[in-house]
Amino acid sequence: MKKTVGIIGAGTMGGGIAQVAALAGFDVLLYDTSGEALKASMERIRGDLRTSVQKGTATSPEATAALTRIRPRRTFEEMGAADAVIEAAPEDLEVKKEIFRALDRIVAPRAVLATNTSSLSITSIGSLTRTPESVVGMHFFNPPARMKLVEIVRGSQTSEQTVRTVHEMALAMGKTAVFCSDTPGFIVNRVARPFYGEALRVLGEGTATAEEIDRIVRLSGGFRMGPFELMDLIGIDVNYAVTKSVYEQFYHEPRFRPHPIQRRMVEAGTLGRKTGRGFYRYE
Ligand SMILES: NC(=O)c1ccc[n+]([C@@H]2O[C@H](COP(=O)([O-])OP(=O)(O)OC[C@H]3O[C@@H](n4cnc5c(N)ncnc54)[C@H](O)[C@@H]3O)[C@@H](O)[C@H]2O)c1
């Protein structure tokens, strides 16, 4: 079992994955290029662990121990000490390629290199390393502390040993794994694209408001959140980047086409919950 997990990117997902890994007993090195993001992430983790204790889902000693296992880091080279790395930087292939090229220079040859990408090619990311057999998709869902599912994605050169290792890690974190091959958006984000896209088209045509669409989807479909509530939770920028990525990789298949509403919201910086305003307003 891999003991020290390095997490790259301390945003919505990286912070949540750090929390889940620390609660499962892993030592965590949490890295971000932004000191502010790192500080905010540690605050969120502290707050969330406090809530878990209040709700009785973790004991106070468990929460305290988890917190002490997470070491925030500003120096990338320190990730070299990790037995397994989970990358959760922005959904931009160039950014991820740069990270994996740099990781390749510092990690031990047997280290597992996982990416939390929602849609990008594991094969392409792996090809930049000397050990493409150690590169794998480990796709957590938002919020990682509460969502049970992890998609484990095999790149065309990923070894079975690597898949087994991340499966063991996912199980240790209390997750249920689903396995799939390396296709744009994997399973969940491919199936979800038309869900967001059609809702955006209904909104764009003025057929109904975001509130109405969300309410109908919740009441009639039994979904816990409607498409606009979910996009606000994910981050409009992240959701837009994933949509563009799936659309590009499927050679501009019309059913995956992004919507101008998404682009405008990214331009305006109304990115959902994380900025206090998206399709809805937040305190
Ligand atoms: N938000 C979701 O619902 C969700 C769900 C599943 C998977 N994902 C995937 O997880 C990844 C991260 O998404 P997120 O929502 O956490 O994004 P985010 O914007 O909340 O966080 C990204 C973090 O990465 C940091 N960063 C930027 N460049 C970096 C670099 N070169 N090295 C290290 N850190 C860097 C940023 O400072 C930021 O803190 C993406 O690939 C996304 O597709 C997101």
Dihedral Cα 68, 142, 223, 226, nearest 10 deg: 120
pLDDT in tens, 115-128: 999 999 999 999 99
CATH of the domain at 66: 3.40.50.720
pLDDT in tens, 58-83: 999 999 999 999 999 999 999 999 99
The β-bridge relationship of strands 176-181 and 112-115 is unpaired
Query: Which among 122, 150, 181 is the end of a domain?
Result: 181
Query: Which among 181, 203, 219 is the end of a domain?
Result: 181
Under DSSP, the state recorded for 133 is G
pLDDT in tens, 250-265: 999 999 999 999 999 9
Q: Whose CA is nearest to atom 28 of ligand 1?
A: 89
Same-domain status, 144 and 257: no
Mean pLDDT of the region 179-207? 97
Please check whether residue 104 lies inside any domain of the structure.
yes
Same-domain status, 8 and 112: yes
Q: Which ligand 1 atom is the nearest neighbour of the CA of 13?
A: 16
Per-residue pLDDT for 2 more than 80?
no
CA angle 216, 139, 192 (to 5 degrees): 25
Same-domain status, 168 and 38: yes
Please check whether residue 282 lies inside any domain of the structure.
no
Angstrom distance (rounded) from CA 6 to CA 26: 10
pLDDT in tens, 209-226: 999 999 999 999 999 999
Angstrom distance (rounded) from CA 87 to CA 126: 12
Q: Whose CA is nearest to atom 25 of ligand 1?
A: 9
Per-residue pLDDT for 106 more than 90?
yes
Q: Are 118 and 91 in contact (CB under 8 A)?
A: yes
Ligand 1 centroid, distance to 237 Cα (angstroms)? 10
Same-domain status, 155 and 220: no
Q: Whose CA is nearest to atom 6 of ligand 1?
A: 141
Q: Give the count of domains, the chain.
A: 2
Angstrom distance (rounded) from CA 179 to CA 196: 24
Per-residue pLDDT for 140 more than 80?
yes
Q: Whose CA is nearest to atom 38 of ligand 1?
A: 11
Please check whether residue 280 lies inside any domain of the structure.
no
Testing ligand 1's pocket by substitution, the residue of 32, 44, 74 carrying the most ligand atoms inside 8 A of its CB is 32
Q: Are 148 and 176 in contact (CB under 8 A)?
A: yes
pLDDT in tens, 93-105: 999 999 999 999 9
Same-domain status, 219 and 93: no
Q: Which ligand 1 atom is the nearest neighbour of the CA of 96?
A: 31
Which protein residues touch ligand 1 with a CB less than 6 Å away? 8-14, 31-34, 37, 88-91, 95, 99, 116-118, 139-142, 234-235, 238, 242
Q: Could you tell me the residue range of the domain that residue 242 belongs to?
A: 190-274
Q: Whose CA is nearest to atom 11 of ligand 1?
A: 88
Angstrom distance (rounded) from CA 17 to CA 78: 18
Mean pLDDT of the region 139-145? 97
CATH of the domain at 230: 1.10.1040.50
Ligand 1 centroid, distance to 216 Cα (angstroms)? 30
Please check whether residue 74 lies inside any domain of the structure.
yes
Q: Which ligand 1 atom is the nearest neighbour of the CA of 142?
A: 3
Please check whether residue 230 lies inside any domain of the structure.
yes
